[in-house]
Structure 1
């Protein structure tokens, strides 16, 4: 009977556990790629959360202040509640990030050497990789030690002699936890994560560097305030030992500002009026060293005033490498001053150096433009160009720089993979499909044309084609306005999406033949001459296709380009073919009128 009952109970428990796990399974996400957009957005949010977290911890030091008239240390309880809430929120975000690491694929270390970057997406391998890495450090970082001490330990010790030890425990917990937090957070604030860069924008990295510098001043100022308060506390304890006031160690702590102890025997009054205790709030009775200004600062009731001045002090010492400070012989004070000097040197070497590089990068293009302009001026002076030509050259250089920003797109694209080059060209040259001539063409023909397009810049008044000159290129207008004027003086406006020199495409098809072995040959001695003049009404940004490149395209796709629909689109859209058709219609009409007039005269 017991055996049957045990089996039934065990079976029910096992089934219940299986159902519970299956219920949770549907809410557990699968393995995620670290390069997806959602993960990248989460990383940016997490970096901001980390910045808030390491900003909040030093604020716990400002919860403590002193009451100069009572000669005791007090804690700001309303502000303490706010700090606990903020710290708990950042801990929850960090805990969620830890759980995410168990479902986030990682790049295999062995694949990084060969540059393949293979992702490991097996759940067990991901979990083992994280546990063997930073899991235990993250676990220690996320422990709510300050919250536990503030909510459980301090309430039992405030107003008694044990409050000093409880507060020391709180400060120690914050400082001990803060070091691994910085170890984990600083690489993220630098913009790097295991999956790559968090902030790819130069402005974002500049802001992160600036915030890191502010964070350093915040930490130094907060530690200076805390150590100054510790020295005031030490002075009060020394004064208590020399005062002879019974139980004065309890009077050093005022709790939340209302625990002033039992004054039935006048001990509290004696302690408040004690000369040695009063001397602790002047810089003469105790060797405070670099904490001299912090003594009076601890008596300020406004936490904003205490924090603002401490932040200013931190900025000042980092910027000057503590050059205006002379520490006392206290060992801790000397070490703190040395740490400020070392931190200042590190910041100037890293953060300020990065900011300087960023600012130089912003002005690098402007410097390159100035150097380019100087070289052009020297060349024009050496060649003794007339002033009108110099003016046009300067205008062309300015517009060319404004259009390209000094970046050579051809060299930039050539270093990319072929498929990526094709996609980029399709995006950059998507205006090609706006032209009706090319809207009817297939992607292979358009890709072949886009591979041979070259960027061109024309200034206002430039002439792209002359009447009677050889047509050597097709020009696709990207930005600006052009006017095409025929031999009859009639102008046709051309703008974005239009093309000039399109007659070259039909001419390349007509002035060629195919020999017996199937190879296409050119008929020598024949060139296409323009019957119109094309000039720029404004500055024009365009792409050109040379005749040699166009001949190569027509040789590759001759059958498709000989299609009647494509030929019809070319002839219908082209101002050249329109004017040619109009001329032929006029000639035919005049010839017909002459024939009719001759027939009437003969009758």
Structure 2
């Protein structure tokens, strides 16, 4: 074969042409080939944005024939990587077209197909990944959302979604889409959000906004009861049309927000209840399952709540019947509609008012919960006062109808009771209807506006005169005051009449007041008492200690010491158990906290030459201890069972000879225990380590001259530390530092020097006596 023919042959056999439908991540490919290729093969990365240059691949070995080996021999070890095990090398021919070599299979290093595991994870949360930022969890403490997101898969999903949206808009504006419905569906599908994570920041902000809308809504509905007032001059009921349209407008806005919240529920992922039995639960993000879950739970209740029934009654039904005898039935229907919608609405809003939602806490601070509890109490007074005004107006209406039945103009007075909007009602009947003056001067109708008349109003006596006031603010404020008063006193000053519904309303006020005191007022009281919770615990502990001392008949001296110890213990710790708090934290965080709290360890002269691992081991085993004035840490002849490091206060150390040493902050006592454990090294007998039995006996007495705060290292912990770091602790440098700074070793060294000096003097005296034959003179 000639050289030219050899040049025309492809350098790699089995080469397949590149398909433009297949997407290749060039950056990822280059990163993979640089990390995993052999040292004997070099491929220079080049740009693929040109068409004129040739892309050459140089090989140090012979070209492969048609028969391919299953593996390629590398000169270096294969590196493990999280990338797929298929190696793909893109090359360019002389025309600049991208070609692809057949993928070469390599065995997986960990015998697990990592690509399949990633695909399974992406498929499990596919809809959340497609949603982009709306599908991400912004809660750093979440335990239910997926902990691993494939950034590459998310980029590919977003890239494909953007391509689909761009293609739809292209068809929409170029005329490819046929029909108005297809164009509308294209716009809606492109604008409709994907599945949203309940822990997303946008969803949390929407929940807070929705709670505010709920508060406005449940405060607005009882205001419908103040649309009607009584006119004493005309003996009729008037509807304030301007106030009615304003309240209906605000109610329409809150209903629209509630409707948007309903649409959100069809795209909001939820935690499957059956998965919370074991573990934190599994987040369901399939749109069909989300829709079915919402349809099975609260959908129909929300539909009934969001229906604009009061707006329909005010804008379309009432105008047809105002000024006629049928207006009373329309007004009763409006009141019944508001009351019927209010009960399920409050049922749906109660979890939100308590600060809870399907995605967790909405208001997490204590002050926010305090404000929520206060608003609930205000809401209860608002509802009770509004209902009281409504029922009082109903009783006035019933009194007027009874007066109409007793009069001789029964057929006409029914139309006179309803004044419509009150605009031209007087001009409509005065001088034109001869029965109008008879009705306005009717004695029974006049008595209806007197609480001491023949009609028994019961608890609505004060509401009779209130219904005749034209000012809406005055009527509302007084009704709110009446509601607060009755809830606070549990309706103790109310004497209802024999009317059944009046008695039931009074019973409801009593029950609601008890519920509020048991729940809301109790929560507020707990919040206020939480500020003095530690003080209450201290008082209870003191009572328990006093009862125990009385039961054990302790002498007064010991009782006084116990009381002082309890007071000092509380003043130093404030009732907080630091060991219990540290146990629930991660190990690295515990280590950092101990380094901060036990900075005194670095000031102790014994530990100044120790390394960080030894200091961390000692800090981990330190225990806080408090001693009052006069307590004895060690006593002469007793065993030494701990090392004590002084943090605050002073001690006095007195040895057997009577030497006194003052110990203060940064000093240590009981260091002879460390020396003893280092001296009693293991004796090798075969393969077993045997410890020489025995205990360290103290030759001094250490007494607290002030209230002292110390940290102790028990003998068992000290033995463990010396076993772990025995090489360093037995070093001459550490031994010398220990003996130099220790009062025990200083006193021991001083006594031994004295003994040696006296012994030397005695020997010198004997030597002089032997040489001179006479008793030497006293020096």
What is the TM-score when the length of structure 1 is the normalising length?
Answer: 0.72
- Identify if the C-alpha distance between structure 1 residues 218 and 122 changes in structure 2 by more than 3 Å, giving closer, same or farther: same
Is 1:384 the equivalent of 2:552? no
* Contact 1:471/1:501, CA 8 A, preserved across alignment: no
* Contact 1:88/1:144, CA 8 A, preserved across alignment: yes
Which residue does 2:142 correspond to in 1? Answer: none
* Contact 2:271/2:284, CA 8 A, preserved across alignment: no
Q: How far is 1:277 from its partner?
A: 2.8
Q: How far is 1:203 from its partner?
A: 7.8
Distance 2:528 2:263 in 1: 39
Is 1:552 the equivalent of 2:720? yes
Distance 1:530 1:580 in 2: 13
What SS does the corresponding residue of 1:118 show, helix, strand or coil?
coil
Distance 1:96 1:430 in 2: 53
Distance 1:252 1:154 in 2: 15
What SS does the corresponding residue of 1:10 show, helix, strand or coil?
coil
Distance 2:529 2:254 in 1: 36
Q: How far is 1:528 from its partner?
A: 8.3
Question: Which of 563, 575, 582 is equivalent to 1:394?
Answer: 563
Which residue does 1:298 correspond to in 2? Answer: 467
Which residue does 1:221 correspond to in 2? Answer: 385
Distance 1:522 1:359 in 2: 58
- Identify if the C-alpha distance between structure 1 residues 8 and 449 changes in structure 2 by more than 3 Å, giving closer, same or farther: same
Distance 2:486 2:742 in 1: 75
Q: How far is 1:180 from its partner?
A: 0.4
State how 1:289-438 maps to structure 2 within 5 Å.
Answer: 289-318=458-487, 322=491, 325-344=494-513, 365=537, 368-375=540-547, 377-378=549-550, 382-386=553-557, 389-402=558-571, 420=585, 422=587, 425-426=590-591, 429-432=594-597, 434=599, 435-436=601-602, 437=607
**Structure 1, residues 562-597: CA drift from partner, whole Å, max 9, x if none?**
7999x69x959x96499969x99xx9xxx9xxxxxx
- Identify if the C-alpha distance between structure 1 residues 578 and 78 changes in structure 2 by more than 3 Å, giving closer, same or farther: farther
* Contact 1:228/1:294, CA 8 A, preserved across alignment: yes
Is 1:54 the equivalent of 2:218? yes
Distance 1:21 1:440 in 2: 68
Distance 2:731 2:254 in 1: 67
Is 1:507 the equivalent of 2:675? yes
What SS does the corresponding residue of 2:425 show, helix, strand or coil?
coil
Let me know the Cα RMSD of the aligned residues.
Answer: 5.3
Distance 1:193 1:116 in 2: 20
- Identify if the C-alpha distance between structure 1 residues 370 and 461 changes in structure 2 by more than 3 Å, giving closer, same or farther: closer
Which blocks of at least 5 consecutive residues in structure 2 are unaligned?
Answer: 1-173, 758-779
Q: How far is 1:133 from its partner?
A: 0.8
Distance 1:524 1:84 in 2: 91
Q: How far is 1:126 from its partner?
A: 3.1
Question: Which of 212, 221, 236 is equivalent to 1:72?
Answer: 236
Distance 1:424 1:303 in 2: 61
- Identify if the C-alpha distance between structure 1 residues 169 and 459 changes in structure 2 by more than 3 Å, giving closer, same or farther: farther
- Identify if the C-alpha distance between structure 1 residues 508 and 95 changes in structure 2 by more than 3 Å, giving closer, same or farther: farther
Distance 1:439 1:62 in 2: 82
**Structure showing greater Rg:** 2
What SS does the corresponding residue of 1:235 show, helix, strand or coil?
helix
Question: Which of 293, 296, 304 is equivalent to 1:132?
Answer: 296
Is 1:232 the equivalent of 2:396? yes
State how 1:560-599 maps to structure 2 within 5 Å.
Answer: 576=742
Q: How far is 1:42 from its partner?
A: 6.8
**Structure 1, residues 316-371: CA drift from partner, whole Å, max 9, x if none?**
54566656545445443344344445545655666667778888985963662342
Distance 2:622 2:223 in 1: 60
Q: How far is 1:161 from its partner?
A: 5.7
Is 1:141 the equivalent of 2:305? yes
Is 1:123 the equivalent of 2:286? yes
Distance 1:7 1:85 in 2: 41
Question: Which of 265, 281, 287 is equivalent to 2:431?
Answer: 265
- Identify if the C-alpha distance between structure 1 residues 200 and 306 changes in structure 2 by more than 3 Å, giving closer, same or farther: same
State how 1:22-33 maps to structure 2 within 5 Å.
Answer: 22=190, 24-25=192-193, 30-33=196-199
Q: How far is 1:230 from its partner?
A: 1.4
- Identify if the C-alpha distance between structure 1 residues 143 and 469 changes in structure 2 by more than 3 Å, giving closer, same or farther: farther
Higher normalized helix content (fraction of residues): 1
Is 1:178 the equivalent of 2:350? no
Distance 1:162 1:83 in 2: 23
What SS does the corresponding residue of 2:468 show, helix, strand or coil?
coil
Question: Which of 396, 409, 422 is equivalent to 1:244?
Answer: 409
Distance 2:688 2:215 in 1: 68
**Structure 1, residues 40-81: CA drift from partner, whole Å, max 9, x if none?**
787677556545543332233233322323433344566556
Residues paired across the two proteins, number: 563
Greater mean deviation of Cα atoms: 154-163 or 63-72: 154-163
Is 1:287 the equivalent of 2:456? yes
* Contact 2:639/2:695, CA 8 A, preserved across alignment: no
- Identify if the C-alpha distance between structure 1 residues 419 and 274 changes in structure 2 by more than 3 Å, giving closer, same or farther: closer
Relative contact order, higher structure (CA 8 A, sep 6+): 1
- Identify if the C-alpha distance between structure 1 residues 287 and 41 changes in structure 2 by more than 3 Å, giving closer, same or farther: same
Q: How far is 1:378 from its partner?
A: 1.8
Distance 1:90 1:444 in 2: 65
Q: How far is 1:396 from its partner?
A: 1.7
- Identify if the C-alpha distance between structure 1 residues 555 and 126 changes in structure 2 by more than 3 Å, giving closer, same or farther: farther
* Contact 2:197/2:269, CA 8 A, preserved across alignment: yes
Q: How far is 1:518 from its partner?
A: 7.4
Greater mean deviation of Cα atoms: 296-305 or 256-265: 256-265
* Contact 1:32/1:103, CA 8 A, preserved across alignment: no
Q: How far is 1:177 from its partner?
A: 0.8
